[in-house]
Amino acid sequence: MKNYDETISTVFERIDQYKTARLRKRKIITRIAIPAFSVCLAVAMGIFAVKGDAFKNESSITLDDSTVIGEKDYIEPDELNNNSNDTNTTSDDIDGDWYGEGQQPPPSNSSGNSSTSSEQVSDPAKLLCYINQIESTKDSDIAPPHPVDDHYHKDWSIDEATKYLNVDFSVVNAKYVLDSSNCGAWYKKSDNTLVMDHNAFVYTNDKGSYLLQASKTFLPKDCIVVSNEEVVSTIVGTKNGPVYVKFYGTVGSVMSHNYSSIQTTMIAEFEHKGVNFRIEANNISAFDFYQFVSAVANG
Amino acid sequence: MDNGASSYRRFREEADQSGLAEIIREYRDGLILYLNSFVGNIHTAEELAEDTFVLLGTKKPRDKGKGSFKTWLYTIGRNIAINYLKKSSKRKEISIDDCIELKSQTDLEENYIKEERKITLHKAMQGLKPEYRQILWLVYFEGFSLKQAASVMKKSVHNTETLVYRARNSLKSRLETEGFSFEEL
């Protein structure tokens, strides 16, 4: 049993030990906590930056020419707000030189137009870019070849084009007026080998217009903006059998910045009798559009 | 000294170490004997009493002033003893015959209790239940009121009253068995 002085001495000794230990612990914690906090802060900032797309390269859309059919390439919402120059650059990246010599990519509207139109999109994050969606068709098989140096090309008329494509447009012709005399062109090498053909028919009436693109050598393509819910695959029955058509409902074109018509444009893409079709309709009712697609598919 | 409260205030607010030394001198023995009623080992009780004073010196808890300083100190000691018992996971109850610390305990009893009769009474208490030992120590040896004892033992006054009654009867029968009589019980 300790006497009072021993107890007092022991108690104060233990109090001192406690204070020393606490001081040492605090130093250790401080020494560990500062670097740990720095690391955590850096990690948190990194995550924040990545999630916030701080390092995003605005000039590139990650849309490659998909080799797998049905691949969806996501377009960041910011892309919708890019100015026309950026988008033109993008369109070249996407499509390469599939417009023939002397042809220019579709004209783009002003950037002001695009920003106004993008506001019509209720939820841009839902918008997806679709490209080369024709069922059972590989883009790599029908990618537009680059015209070679020793090629020559020829523009042709509607008759020449329809004969080449073996498609009867009589049903369409009854309701709409063909708006172009030069409807297509082909590119051949000097040895008469066909390199590429590209045919475009613009039909109009007082209500709306159609742009029909067709080619045997590649898939006429454009990047379109569409909300996922509006993509419908359907089968159009024809006298030659079923044709698988992918309809896009209300869409806008990234290429042409055609956002103003985002609520009125419909697109169908399909392959029929060796010809790749892409039909774009503006201000046309769904019924008329279906009829037109059906007429082409039955041609 | 007002039951140690002023000494503790000096230590706590003015870092006057003599204040804590005064408290140790004043309350150490009583606290050890009280804690001994918990743990049944005088050396363990001494360590626990030391722990109580160390806690006062390190954490410097604030006395809320609801009761006397002594009541508050004993409550802290009790909590420390309970924690000790939880950690050791078994209550060491040892009979007075087996107690190897008899010498130390006897010295402390003689030093603190002084009265021969009460020392005999305290020895007889060793065979009682710990709870009885605790309440009897607080009420009969420390002179705590029922309210103060209830506060230390975290019981209601009514429960404490009942506990004292039972503890006293238990001690009385034990003393009678050993041939003693204690009129104050």
Per DSSP, the residues of chain A read ---HHHHHHHHHHHHHHHHHHHHHHHHHHHHHHHHHHHHHHHHHHHHHHHHTTTT--TT-------SSTT-EEE--HHHHT--HHHHHHHHHHHHTT-S-TT--PPPP--HHHHHHHHTT-S-GGGEEEE-S--TT--GGGSPPPPPPTT-EEEEE-HHHHHHHHT---HHHHHHSEE--S--EEEEE-TT--EEEEEEEEEEE-SS-EEEEEEESSS-----EEEEGGGEEEEEEEETTEEEEEEEE-SEEETTTT-GGGTTTEEEEEEEETTEEEEEEEES--HHHHHHHHHHHHH-
For chain A, how many structural domains are there in total? 2
Binned at pLDDT 50, 70 and 90, residue A110 comes out as very low
pLDDT score of A280: 79
Whether the per-residue pLDDT at B52 is higher than 90: the answer is yes
**Is A84 part of any domain?**
yes
Which chain B residues have a beta carbon less than 8 Å from that of A15?
A: 54, 57-58
Q: Are the C-beta atoms of B15 and B27 separated by less than 8 Å?
A: no
Q: Which residue has the higher pLDDT, B133 or A100?
A: B133
Lowest mean pLDDT among A45-54, A75-84, B23-32: A75-84
Whether the per-residue pLDDT at B114 is higher than 60: the answer is yes
Kindly report the average pLDDT of chain B as a whole number: 83
Its CATH class, for the domain covering B5-177, is mainly alpha
pLDDT score of A11: 92
- A266 and A153 in a common domain: yes
Single out the residue in A55, A82, A97 at which a domain terminates: A55
The reply to whether B106 touches chain A by the CB within 8 Å rule is no
Which chain A residues have a beta carbon less than 8 Å from that of B107?
A: 1
- A203 and A88 in a common domain: yes
**Is A63 part of any domain?**
no
> Which of A50-54, A133-137, A162-166, A262-266 shows the highest mean pLDDT?
A162-166
CA-based torsion, A230, A235, A239, A240: positive or negative? positive
Whether the per-residue pLDDT at A88 is higher than 60: the answer is no
The reply to whether B18 touches chain A by the CB within 8 Å rule is no
In chain B, the residue whose alpha carbon lies closest to the alpha carbon of A1 is B104
Q: Which residue has the higher pLDDT, B181 or B45?
A: B45
Whether the per-residue pLDDT at B53 is higher than 90: the answer is yes
Q: Would you give the distance in Å from CA A85 to the centre of its chain?
A: 17
Are A8 and B104 inside 8 Å of each other by CB?
no
**Is A64 part of any domain?**
no
pLDDT score of B103: 64
Which chain B residues have a beta carbon less than 8 Å from that of A4?
A: 24-25, 28
Lowest mean pLDDT among A97-111, A194-208, A213-227, B119-133: A97-111
Are B25 and A12 inside 8 Å of each other by CB?
no
pLDDT score of B23: 93
The strand pairing partners of A129, in sequence order, are: A73, A225
Q: How far is A7 from chain B (nearest CA, A)?
A: 7
Averaged pLDDT, A147-161: 68
Binned at pLDDT 50, 70 and 90, residue A248 comes out as low
Domain assignment of residue A18, given as a range? 1-55
- A117 and A217 in a common domain: yes
The reply to whether B28 touches chain A by the CB within 8 Å rule is yes
Kindly report the average pLDDT of chain A as a whole number: 63
Q: Which of B163, B160, B182, B164 is nearest to B173 (CA)?
A: B182
- A104 and A241 in a common domain: yes
> Within 10 A of A109 (CB to CB), how many other CB atoms are there?
17
- A190 and A262 in a common domain: yes
The CA dihedral of A53, A55, A57, A63, to the nearest 10 degrees, is -50
- A9 and A113 in a common domain: no
Whether the per-residue pLDDT at A124 is higher than 70: the answer is no
Averaged pLDDT, A4-24: 91
Are B50 and A19 inside 8 Å of each other by CB?
no
> Which of A159-168, A206-215, B1-10, B156-165 shows the highest mean pLDDT?
B156-165
Cα–Cα distance measured from residue B35 to residue B48, given in angstroms and rounded to the nearest whole number: 7
Lowest mean pLDDT among A101-115, A121-135, A220-234, B5-19: A101-115
pLDDT score of A133: 42
In chain A, the residue whose alpha carbon lies closest to the alpha carbon of B105 is A1
Tokens of A206: 């007082």
Let me know if A140 is exposed, middle or buried by CB neighbors in 10 A (0-12, 13-18, 19+).
Answer: exposed
- A84 and A41 in a common domain: no
Please report where in the chains the tokens 């892409």 appear, as a residue.
A278
Q: Which residue has the higher pLDDT, A295 or B73?
A: B73
- A149 and A36 in a common domain: no
Q: Which residue has the higher pLDDT, A247 or B74?
A: B74
> Which of A224-228, B92-96, B127-131 shows the highest mean pLDDT?
B127-131
Whole-angstrom CA distances from A49 to A43, A52, A57, A75, B94 are 10, 5, 13, 19, 68
Which chain B residues have a beta carbon less than 8 Å from that of A18?
A: 54, 57-58
Whether the per-residue pLDDT at B48 is higher than 90: the answer is yes
In chain A, the residue whose alpha carbon lies closest to the alpha carbon of B22 is A8
pLDDT score of A259: 46
**Is A125 part of any domain?**
yes
Which chain A residues have a beta carbon less than 8 Å from that of B53?
A: 7, 11
Q: Which residue has the higher pLDDT, A144 or B113?
A: B113
- A113 and A46 in a common domain: no
Which chain A residues have a beta carbon less than 8 Å from that of B108?
A: 1
Roughly what angle, to the nearest 10 degrees, separates helices B116-125 and B102-112? 140
Binned at pLDDT 50, 70 and 90, residue A205 comes out as confident
- A282 and A164 in a common domain: yes
Give the DSSP letter of residue B56: H
Interface probe for A, chosen from B11, B18, B22, B24 (most Cβ of A below 10 Å), is B24
Interface probe for B, chosen from A11, A23, A25 (most Cβ of B below 10 Å), is A11
Nearest to B24 among A11, A14, A19 (CB): A11
- A185 and A146 in a common domain: yes
Domain spans of chain B, in order of start = 5-177
Whether the per-residue pLDDT at B97 is higher than 70: the answer is no
- A82 and A47 in a common domain: no
Whether the per-residue pLDDT at B17 is higher than 60: the answer is yes
Whether the per-residue pLDDT at A103 is higher than 70: the answer is no
The reply to whether A10 touches chain B by the CB within 8 Å rule is yes
pLDDT score of A281: 77
Are B57 and A15 inside 8 Å of each other by CB?
yes
Q: Are the C-beta atoms of A282 and A261 separated by less than 8 Å?
A: yes
Cα–Cα distance measured from residue A272 to residue A270, given in angstroms and rounded to the nearest whole number: 7
In chain B, the residue whose alpha carbon lies closest to the alpha carbon of A8 is B21
